[in-house]
Amino acid sequence: MLEKPMLLRLRDPLTESERDSIFSLCKELGYSYQFRAGSKELLELTGAGAPSHRSLFEDLTGILSVVDNGQARELNMRSVGGPDLVVEVAGARFGGEWAGLIAGPCAVERADRLQSIAERVQAAGACVLRGGAYKPRTSPYSFRGLGEAGLAMLAETRTKTGLPIVTEVLDPRDVETVGAVTDIFQVGSRSMANAALLTELGKANKPVLLKRGMSATVREFLLAAEYVLMGGNEQVLLCERGVRSFDNVTRNLLDVGAIAHLKRVTHLPVLADPSHAAGRRDLVRALARASMAAGADGLIIEVHPDPGEVHSDGAQAVSFEEFERISADARAILELDGRRLSQADVVPRSDSTSGAGAQKSRPSLKVD
Ligand code: PEP
Ligand code: MN
């Protein structure tokens, strides 16, 4: 098969030293190169690519942009016609024909409340329980989570319900502690560009749910995922949660186009968080529908029966009844697309293993 060339757009005019740097990097990386016929700006490179090559070229001042990667595929990129990655945790599956619902409170605050929320969202079709023990609050004076006590509550709830857990890790030094309890690590929007944290998670053997930074471009988002992937952890779930915009009718602007785009360019599962995008409970269901219609492989939703009692994100927490409606919507939209809603193993487990060792029995849950 003919090798697809990498295509670079060069600055015009180029200084001599810029030109020398480009040509010497081409040689160093083993590319042969030639200008596209009639052009002084488009340089075609032929040769075997590697994931690092695009960024190395982008860092040269003489290069305006990498127009085409050629064979230099980053690890986040879908190979031509390649399949979706399906991430599976204790029976919950995201990607390919499967989508899953993650639900729970913003933060873990009370053990009894966490348990009752877990039971209700599980009955309504959630396959993973969410809840923050370490909260990345904008103000350092706000409630910042219960820490290890919160992790213990999550562990207890998982034991009782069998629902796997996703919870946020904020600090690379906490990866081991959080990893001892969680089934999926969450990296929040405020931490998306924390290279030290991402590098540490690259060594972990559990999936990472990576939220898009609130001001991150799609490329920056994918490169954040690349940090985890290059460490050897291939289990990354991307999550679009809205970006900052000029308007404040919603807390953030849900980038539905990014969901559809990401589904094309990467094999990684793409989830959506309509709760943090909307910032208000009356819009969460509509944004959830839009996300699923755009191709999302799942949703993460904040649910609480008494938002008045919580210390974070009460305004966007939906009721159990609203979550049931969101779940029914997701099923209907998935059915239209020939996809299916995933369920977790519902048999309570007493260990923290996920995937291979987890029990596989999957009694069907009555949802609607
Ligand atoms: C959260 O999930 O509660 C959270 C803090 O989300 P984000 O990082 O998207 O703001
Ligand atoms: Mn929240």
* pLDDT tens per residue, range 124-169: 999 999 999 999 999 999 999 999 999 999 999 999 999 999 999 9
Rounded Cα–Cα distance for residues 239 and 250 (Å): 18
Percent of the chain with pLDDT over 70: 93
Going by CA atoms, what residue is nearest to atom 10 of ligand 1?
189
pTM comes to: 0.92
Using the atom order of ligand 1, give the atom closest to the CA of residue 186: 2
Ligand 1 nearest-atom number relative to CA 312: 3
Atom of ligand 1 nearest to the CA of 191: 8
Residue of minimum CA distance from atom 4 in ligand 1? 188
Whether the pLDDT of residue 269 is over 80: the answer is yes
Please tell me the distance from the alpha carbon of residue 109 to that of residue 190, in angstroms, as a whole number. 21
The rounded distance, in Å, linking the Cα atoms of 128 and 342 is 10
Pick the ligand that lies closest to the CA of residue 211.
1
In ligand 1, the atom with minimum distance to the C-alpha of 241 is 9
Q: Is the per-residue pLDDT at 355 higher than 50?
A: no
Would you say residue 207 has pLDDT above 70? yes
Out of 35-39, 255-259, 346-350, least confident range: 346-350
Residue pLDDT, tens place only, 62-80: 999 999 999 999 999 999 8
pLDDT band at residue 345, thresholds of 50, 70 and 90? Answer: confident
Q: Which ligand has the minimum distance to the alpha carbon of residue 314?
A: 2
Total residue count of the chain as it appears in this document = 368
| Predicted local distance difference test score (pLDDT) of residue 361 | 34
Q: How many whole angstroms separate alpha carbon 181 and alpha carbon 358?
A: 15
Q: Which ligand is nearest to the CA of 279?
A: 2
Please tell me the distance between residue 275's alpha carbon and the centre of ligand 2 in angstroms. Answer: 8
Tokens of 269: 């599962």
**H-state helical runs in the chain:** 16-28, 53-58, 111-123, 148-161, 175-179, 195-202, 218-230, 256-265, 274-278, 281-293, 320-336
Phi/psi region, residue 325 (left: phi>0; alpha: psi -120 to 50; beta: rest), is alpha
3-state secondary structure of 75: coil
> What is the structure's pLDDT at 3?
79
Q: Could you give the CA distance from residue 215 to residue 259 in angstroms, rounded to a whole number?
A: 16
| pLDDT, tens digit, 9 for 90 and up, residues 303-338 | 999 999 999 999 999 999 999 999 999 999 999 999
Q: Which atom of ligand 1 is nearest to the CA of 273?
A: 9
Which residues have beta carbons under 5 A from ligand 2 (an ion)?
A: 106, 313
The pLDDT of residue 89 is: 97
List, chain by chain if needed, residues with CB within 6 Å of any ligand 1 atom: 106, 132, 136, 188-190, 211, 241, 273, 276
Average pLDDT, the chain: 93
* Distance in Å, CA 300 to ligand 1 centroid: 10
Contact at 8 Å (CB) between 206 and 177?
A: no
Q: Which ligand is nearest to the CA of 102?
A: 1
* Ligand 1 atom 8: residue of nearest CA: 188
Is residue 301 within 8 Å of residue 326, measured between CB atoms?
yes
Residue 350: pLDDT over 70: no
The residues that bridge with 44 in the sheet, in sequence order, are: 7, 34
Q: Considering Cα of 69, then 75, then 79, then 85, what sign does the dihedral take?
A: negative
Round to whole Å and give the CA distance between 287 and 275: 8
Give the distance (Å) from ligand 2 centre to CA of residue 324: 19
pLDDT of residue 206 exceeding 70, the answer is yes
Q: Tell me, what's the pLDDT at 348?
A: 54
What pLDDT does residue 1 have? 58
DSSP assigned state of 85: P
Which residue's CA lies nearest to atom 9 of ligand 1? 189
Instruction: Quote the DSSP letter at residue 92.
Output: E
Is residue 30 scored above 60 in pLDDT? yes
Reported confidence tier of residue 347, pLDDT bands at 50, 70, 90: low
Check: CB of residue 89 under 8 Å from CB of residue 183: yes
Q: Give the other-Cβ count within 10 Å of 88's Cβ.
A: 20
- Nearest residue (CA) to ligand 1, atom 1: 106
Ligand 1 atom closest to the Cα of residue 107 is 3
Lowest mean pLDDT across 2-6, 39-43, 124-128? 2-6
State whether residue 26 is helix, strand or coil.
helix
pLDDT at 21 over 60: yes
Q: Which two tokens stand for residue 137?
A: 């609050």
Q: Who has greater pLDDT, 16 or 355?
A: 16
Question: Is residue 188 within 8 Å of 145, Cβ to Cβ?
Answer: no
Spatial CA neighbour of 207 closest among 118, 277, 129, 268: 268
